[in-house]
Structure 1
């Protein structure tokens, strides 16, 4: 891999990264623009905070598999108990996949996956015999819904008490058998450290073909992840075919049949799709034909215009929440599309609406008129989020939001049911700088939280933010408990931390083709999977790169 050519394992990574940041960041030299210098200073601060945090992070409880002639997996499994004297397992031309009724779908998928890897087997058998792969529904003895157990004797038996656990078990077996047709005797017991492990695809800005999306779903499943978030609308496009408002649908979009295809494929691999239509900002594609609903400022200086263009697609991307027609349009969209997706969640967005409310006095007037004396403009976005959440919940789903929309305190409080994806510590500034609500403020109010730290969970293909893309090594020394502001949740609220994702953003949709995105995305996705499943404790990054190479990709 190109990024390892100058890798010196004798120098601690945080030291190397800090040295690099004090010179230039991703090609932004010290003498660059004012914004570049601000990014540089903020990134240096973040690097210093991450260096301190990494040094003080206690080792994770991961128990990677010892050598034992057992092939590598990515992520590593939690526990391997070798069995002395067991004959071990051999996959040969007579091997079959034998499944109970509850595991038939997983068996068929495993058979399909083994065939292109050079391991032809069938999923049609009633009784197991030596050399068979056996899928059984049953108690794993592990208190985790996604756990599984693999017993290796003259048969290879996967036991799980949930479809998710069975899906993960089959991927481990697939990784093993792609490397070796013989396995030593023993028992693997495995479970994830975090309940949400995923990948987000920004197809709102850069349209990705159905086949490409499915391939990324397959990559995530291969790494025992369980979520793929689809960012379906943004500045450049609205990617769903709307019948209630056909005028908002972009030329490049997913038909209802395309969505069913994606959902069915994801379901077959145990991946839950989390759809997102970003509101009330980033709505350029929706508002292109609804210019009367655009939120317009009372003043716009040159600096204001630059910030608008950088953060939320310009003025044309924000809908006017003081206009009743805005709520009717959004209600139509939610009522049309929320039922289309069978998963548990719907992401409302709620990010980057307004950072300087003095430019929008109409929001202040609306707040006091609607919510009463003492209300602030920040109550408008909270009121919107609670209103939209009610619609989402009426379909039996849980709403999700980005955190920064709630950084301006007022009379209202966000519904505690909202799952908060925490990406930025700043109230309208650079994401590493303080000023907004802290992660603990959200969990103290009862919100489940996902760590979406701008650095290092974001990978941006182009635009200003691409200058501070974190290399995979920084993602390796980070851990999912460390938020972008350098804080961690107190022990009493750590159970509310759901996990994290790798976030692909396409701020400049022309910067990289879908094919060019795959390699850097996969490199980071493998690291994120290891972080979330078993942690990186006890594994060096060069060793992990070797494991990833051995396991390959589906």
Structure 2
């Protein structure tokens, strides 16, 4: 959101983005033999498993174990879901299906057990023992699951598993990734890959700021929204990988995705001008509006938390511009009240509402400046991202639970990235906040969060973000879990990260389903996509029948998984960049026209080809809306769930002379 543009007091980390494929640490991809498993007692003593995050300790056994053709997964009832998931993942390594059994194990098997007596393992710790078989034990199913993630990574870094054992318990309860799908839409495929990688790295919380498509307030559905069905699918997938999803609807600031159609609920300044980014917290109808939005979220997000944001309500402004806030506070709390008391009161009222629904409220810290006389409710979890007069240590000392969401852990699309090398070299931990290291009441630190913001997403596709996050997300996972660093320096770490790679089943980074070349593009109605006979930059695209249709569009692949569409007759490229833009300077509104523009490096000129029945959807890589055709023949973007005539048939065509090169 816009809060990430703020420079008054916020650090601006700049990452040296290194995607190193160094082999200095001697790592290599696993090539698992199909021979019967055996230990090699005479082999040199292997090192600890080379995995991310590294286990807290490792006692070597002096040999190795190879999994092979006879390997099975032996499990109890509590571990069955993990066993079935692991069986599918192991196909990548063993080349065949791995049977799941319930009973007595034999040498070469993988044994999964839940042991309620192992309270020393906590909710997510595991014991891993490699002898003549692999044994993974957890106090609960989550611990067993995380033990299998260590096993999978070992199979990526070694031909044979080192024998030995570990008891590995995370140092932090919450190891989170936050994604602001606000003002933008992150695809289901992208979120699926993120969830699988998070689990592979033992991260357990996904914080999603997104808009759920509203039935009650249909005017907010201009995009970017997710349908309730999409949200339920995300939550179900996350649960399968032991990830809790925490939703956010930011308020009372940054509310323009919801408030723009409702000026009566907007906070007006001394001139009477309403502000679509600010909710009028003195208006009972505004509170009702917000709680109804909360209800819609809680209906599809079953987790224990709700995040209300609560950041930057007065960013680039001052309470004095809104005297009604002071009047409200003094009427409610007496003559000594401050205007910020009205803000804290709103947060506390939302907290009470959320508690009545059985959930716990979370907020960002930057509204807690110390100018209020009304205290924040103690049950609210504070996510600390920015140095403020009230420090992270003071919040802990006052008894609040605090999450470390330092802006040093922020990935901003099209802007700055975490300094992964610095974080690794300095041994960052969740105790290291943006305003210093917490030294007392550390039991109040809930964990830490790596955050992905969209501030400049018009300049960076989600596929580019996926690549750019790779190393820093792994550094974060290492620090959040809390074990010793697996390598002595950052170069070795990036080499290990490259070898460990992505989670099994992560799939290809993207799909480009057709070869480069010239194609005719016809909609489901048979109309051909065209820029017109003599288009100039800015000419709307249309779909027409008969001889008017364009001869061909040249499709060229981009290096981040998309295509550019060039009209071979005019040399112009298909784009969605004209019209009213959102706060991120992207034309996201449904129904915006696709236009022919001078070809450039603009990310909005990149298009996904998504296979669909009978052809492909053409989806803009930035707006993530499908190209469709109106009844009047105009080519416009629409969200996937409402797009009609959005399937395009591609017919290869002989290349024609163009006015411009590729």
Shorter-chain TM-score range: 0.7 to 0.9
Asked whether the equivalents of residues 111 and 120 of structure 1 are also in contact (C-alpha less than 8 Å), the reply is: no
From the superposition, tell whether residues 445 and 69 of structure 1 become closer, same or farther in structure 2 (CA, over 3 Å). Answer: closer
Higher mean displacement: 222-231 or 530-539:
530-539
Aligned-partner Cα distance in 2 for 1:299–1:547:
59
Corresponding position: 1:73 with 2:51:
yes
Deviations 1:218-264 (A, max 9, x none): 111100111111011xxxxxx21222222223434222221111111
What SS does structure 1 have at the residue aligned with 2:411?
strand
Structure-2 residue corresponding to 1:249: 221
Structure 1 residue 508, shift from structure 2 partner: 2.2
Structure-1 residue corresponding to 2:352: 390
Higher mean displacement: 277-286 or 67-76:
67-76
Structure-1 residue corresponding to 2:446: 498
Aligned-partner Cα distance in 1 for 2:91–2:270:
63
Asked whether the equivalents of residues 379 and 410 of structure 1 are also in contact (C-alpha less than 8 Å), the reply is: yes
> Mind listing any 5+ residue stretches in structure 1 that lack a counterpart?
1-34, 48-65, 233-238, 306-313, 427-435
The number of residues matched between the two structures is 464
Structure-1 residue corresponding to 2:306: 346
Asked whether the equivalents of residues 69 and 94 of structure 2 are also in contact (C-alpha less than 8 Å), the reply is: no
Aligned-partner Cα distance in 1 for 2:382–2:118:
32
Aligned-partner Cα distance in 1 for 2:85–2:156:
15
Aligned-partner Cα distance in 2 for 1:41–1:262:
35
What SS does structure 2 have at the residue aligned with 1:83?
strand
Corresponding position: 1:268 with 2:262:
no
What SS does structure 2 have at the residue aligned with 1:120?
coil
Asked whether the equivalents of residues 381 and 406 of structure 1 are also in contact (C-alpha less than 8 Å), the reply is: no
Aligned-partner Cα distance in 2 for 1:210–1:124:
30
Matches within 5 A, 1:389-408: 389-408=351-370
Corresponding position: 1:511 with 2:459:
yes
Structure 1 residue 98, shift from structure 2 partner: 1.4
Corresponding position: 1:180 with 2:133:
no
Residue of structure 2 aligned with 1:523, choices 450, 468, 471? 471
Higher mean displacement: 147-156 or 289-298:
289-298
Structure-2 residue corresponding to 1:460: 412
Asked whether the equivalents of residues 55 and 484 of structure 2 are also in contact (C-alpha less than 8 Å), the reply is: no
Deviations 1:79-135 (A, max 9, x none): 111124x6x422112211111000000011111222234543434313321111111
Corresponding position: 1:316 with 2:269:
no
Structure 2 length-normalised TM: 0.66
Aligned-partner Cα distance in 2 for 1:521–1:251:
25
Aligned-partner Cα distance in 2 for 1:449–1:189:
27
Asked whether the equivalents of residues 196 and 500 of structure 1 are also in contact (C-alpha less than 8 Å), the reply is: yes
Structure 1 residue 348, shift from structure 2 partner: 1.0
Aligned-partner Cα distance in 2 for 1:368–1:123:
69
Where is the helix percentage greater, Structure 1 or Structure 2?
A: 1
What SS does structure 1 have at the residue aligned with 2:127?
strand
Deviations 1:378-424 (A, max 9, x none): 11111111111111111211111001122142221111111100011
Structure 1 length-normalised TM: 0.79
Aligned-partner Cα distance in 1 for 2:492–2:292:
51
Structure-1 residue corresponding to 2:125: 147
Residue of structure 2 aligned with 1:95, choices 55, 71, 89? 71
Structure-2 residue corresponding to 1:447: 400
What SS does structure 2 have at the residue aligned with 1:115?
helix
> Mind listing any 5+ residue stretches in structure 2 that lack a counterpart?
15-43, 504-662
Residue of structure 1 aligned with 2:385, choices 423, 428, 448? 423
Aligned-partner Cα distance in 2 for 1:535–1:500:
15
What SS does structure 2 have at the residue aligned with 1:205?
coil
Asked whether the equivalents of residues 140 and 148 of structure 1 are also in contact (C-alpha less than 8 Å), the reply is: no
What SS does structure 1 have at the residue aligned with 2:471?
helix
From the superposition, tell whether residues 385 and 117 of structure 1 become closer, same or farther in structure 2 (CA, over 3 Å). Answer: farther
Aligned-partner Cα distance in 2 for 1:248–1:372:
37
Higher mean displacement: 510-519 or 108-117:
108-117
Asked whether the equivalents of residues 184 and 224 of structure 2 are also in contact (C-alpha less than 8 Å), the reply is: no
Question: What RMSD, in angstroms, separates the aligned Cα atoms of the two structures?
Answer: 2.5
> Which structure has more RCO (C-alpha within 8 Å, separation ≥ 6)?
1
From the superposition, tell whether residues 219 and 193 of structure 1 become closer, same or farther in structure 2 (CA, over 3 Å). Answer: same
Where is the strand percentage greater, Structure 1 or Structure 2?
A: 2
Corresponding position: 1:437 with 2:390:
yes
Residue of structure 1 aligned with 2:335, choices 364, 368, 373? 373
Aligned-partner Cα distance in 2 for 1:326–1:546:
52
